[in-house]
Structures are given as structure tokens and as C-alpha cells.
Amino acid sequence: MNITNVAVGLTGKDLLSILNDFVSVEGLTLHSIEISDCILIKGNFKKGLSIDFECGLRINSTDNNMIQGEICRFKVLNIGIASFFRKIALKYALKSFADKGITYNAGKVNIQYKYILKDVPYIDFDINDLRLLEDKLIVGVNNVSISLGGELKKEVKLFKEEANEEELREAEERGKTEDLYTIGREKLSEKLPEKVKKYSDYIFVIPDIAALLTRLLKDNRVSIKTKLIISGSIAYIVIPTDIIPDKIPFIGKIDELAVAFFALNRIVKDVPLHIILENWQGKNDIILVIKSLIEYITNFTAAQNVETLYEFVEEVLSV
């Protein structure tokens, strides 16, 4: 059976049912979905930490079997869990969606709906319209094929960013850097209680970042410019007196946290991914999550002021 065009209105409960039926991620439970000016998703993610969250998704467009959207609201509801670790765990959850056909990067969301429905042999369609109307998501579809006997055969491939895949393979082939920190980390991991060991990659996040910075300073493949940024940022953070007086407009109020995020963001931008992965002691998934988190947070903190100043000075010096 073939249908040329059809439009349907989906409520929040309809969307919740569809996601629960076709998108399963270990540790993730979706409680409710509400539709107003955006699609508000409430749920819980458990990966070592149990985190309740609210996430607002705005639909922008649909093209080439892909729905493009953006995160317009994000709120973590738990009290008593450090913000940094909450965000890492949630970004890890979002990364878990990648194998399901849903990818997230710097606030942008891409949904490969054909891939999500690839194992449903009863129906196939193309989405040509998506819009919010009051409390419903209006979905316009065409080229609808229906098989009551479940005989539809679909050949849908998961789209992935090839550049990252190649760098990941290269990093895996080269292996991890080993030094005194590697030995010390392993010994400390062995002494952790059995119930805590599975969370060791979260526990060692801060020491792993410190080790990463130290190793990058020693790595000959990292540019002198990047090493100066790392060294200068560390000096700014650890020296008790203000290097930049507060009275200087624009940059005088820059705090240590902003400088830290600026330095990390420059590393993300300037150092090839495979070099970062080689020098990262923990699991690759964790540093990839931190990488995306740094890119996102930089745009909403005073780190952007430091970044703007840096780019201005770099432009002037290059003239």
C-alpha cells in the first residue's frame, strides 16, 4: 500500500511512546514529554550517578532523512552532585544516542529518523514538514509505504563523522602515553573499593586533566604557541595576586575559571584529536564528552571574552 502525502499531529504522550519503543539507551529513563514553544523532555540518567534532568528541544528543519534541531533549554535537577560531574554524565548519555541515530554537538541535535525506524518492517516514509502547533508536533510525511505483513526491507546506513572515526582509529593504534602518572593511577585504582571501581574514570577526571596538560607541554607535536597558552593560563590560576588589574575594561574582571576554560578550549581547537587521545589516561569516551562540553560552555562564560581578546591580539600580530 502506498500513500502520497499525509499529516499527523503527535502529542507529548505519543512522542514518549515512540521514543520508548524505538530508542533504548542503557541507564536512560524518559518520564514525560511536553510540547509548547519547544519539546520539553523530562527523565533520569543513571551512569554511576543518578541524575534527573529537563531538556528542551527546538526543531529547526528536516532534510536528507535528517531532522535538525537544537537544545534550547537544559536543567539538571539533582542537588548535592558537583555541576562538572553532572554535565559529564549527561553528555555521556547524549553520546550514547549516537549508535541509535541521534547525535549531539555544541548544542545542535541531528536525528536520523530512517535509521531509528530501520527495524520496523511495516511502514516507511519521508518527512517533509515538522512544526509545533499549540500542544502538538505536526508531522508531514510523503512517499508512505505500508506492509501489513511486515515485508518491507530497508537498507539504511548510520551516518557518522568520518574525520573523528579516523582519528580515533589512529589513536587506538598508537596506544596511550605511559609515565609515572600511569603507574600511580593504576595503583590508586586497585585500592578503590569494589563498588567504586567502575566509577574510577569519573573519579580521576580532574587528575587526568592535570596529567593531560603536563603531557601536552612535553609533547613535541604540540606547537610552542599552544604550550605558552597552557603555561600562561596555569600561571594566572595559581599565582595568588591578580596579573590583570580589575579596573582594566573588558578583561579586568576575567576570573580563573574563565581562563581555565579558555586554555582547554584552545587545546581542543589547536591540538589534533589523536594527540589529545594519546595523552589522555582515561577512556576515550570521557575526553570526547569533555571536549564537546568545553566547546559548549566556552560560549556562555567569560572564557569567550578571553577567546575574543586572544583572537584580536593574534590578528593584530599577524598583520
Q: Output the tens digit of pLDDT for each of the chain's 319 residues.
A: 667 778 889 999 999 998 888 777 777 889 999 998 899 999 888 766 677 888 888 888 888 888 988 888 777 775 555 555 555 555 666 666 777 788 877 667 888 888 888 887 878 888 888 889 889 999 988 888 888 777 777 777 776 655 455 556 665 656 788 899 999 999 998 888 888 887 788 888 888 888 998 999 999 888 888 898 888 878 876 765 554 554 444 444 455 666 777 788 788 888 888 888 889 888 877 777 777 667 666 555 555 555 555 554 444 334 3
User: Rounded to an integer, what distance in angstroms lies between the CA atom of residue 84 and that of residue 205?
Assistant: 10
Cβ neighbours of residue 59 under 8 Å, at least 6 residues apart?
Answer: 39, 67, 68, 69, 130, 131, 132, 137
Does one domain contain both 116 and 166? no
Quickly list DSSP for 72-114.
EEEEE--SSS-HHHHHHHHHHHHHHGGGGTEEEETTEEEE-HH
**280 to 95, 192, 206, 276: CA distances (angstroms):** 18, 21, 11, 6
Flag whether 119 is in a domain: yes
Q: Which residues contact 283 (CB under 8 A, 6 or more apart)?
A: 201
- For the chain, how many structural domains are there in total? 2
Which domain does 111 fall in, by range?
Answer: 2-146
Residues 68 and 109 both lie in one domain: yes
Number of Cβ within a 10 Å radius of residue 166: 12
| Helix ranges (DSSP H) in the chain | 12-22, 83-96, 113-116, 162-174, 180-191, 194-197, 200-203, 205-218, 224-238, 256-270, 273-279, 284-298, 303-318
Please write down the long-range contacts of 161-164, taking CB distance under 8 Å and 24 or more positions apart: 164/273
Q: Are 36 and 66 members of one domain?
A: yes
Inside any domain, residue 154: no
Residue that is last in its domain, among 85, 115, 146 = 146
Q: How many CB atoms lie within 10 A of CB 281?
A: 22
Nearest to 157 by CA among 112, 201, 187: 112
Element (H, E) at 70: strand 66-76
Dihedral angle, C-alpha 164, 167, 172, 178, nearest 10 °: -110
| First CA to last CA distance, the chain | 65
Domain for residue 152, yes or no? no
Same domain? For 185 and 79 the reply is no
Q: Is 190 helix (H, G, I), strand (E, B) or coil?
A: helix
Residue from 246, 242, 268, 251 nearest 302 by CA:
251
Angstrom CA distances, 70 to 44, 60, 289, stand at 20, 7, 17
For residue 155, being part of any structural domain is answered with no
Asked if residue 124 and residue 89 are part of one domain, the reply reads yes
77 and 213 co-located in one domain: no
157 in a domain, yes or no? no
Rounded distance between C-alpha atoms, residue 44 and residue 46, angstroms? 7
Q: How far is CA 62 from the centre of its chain?
A: 21
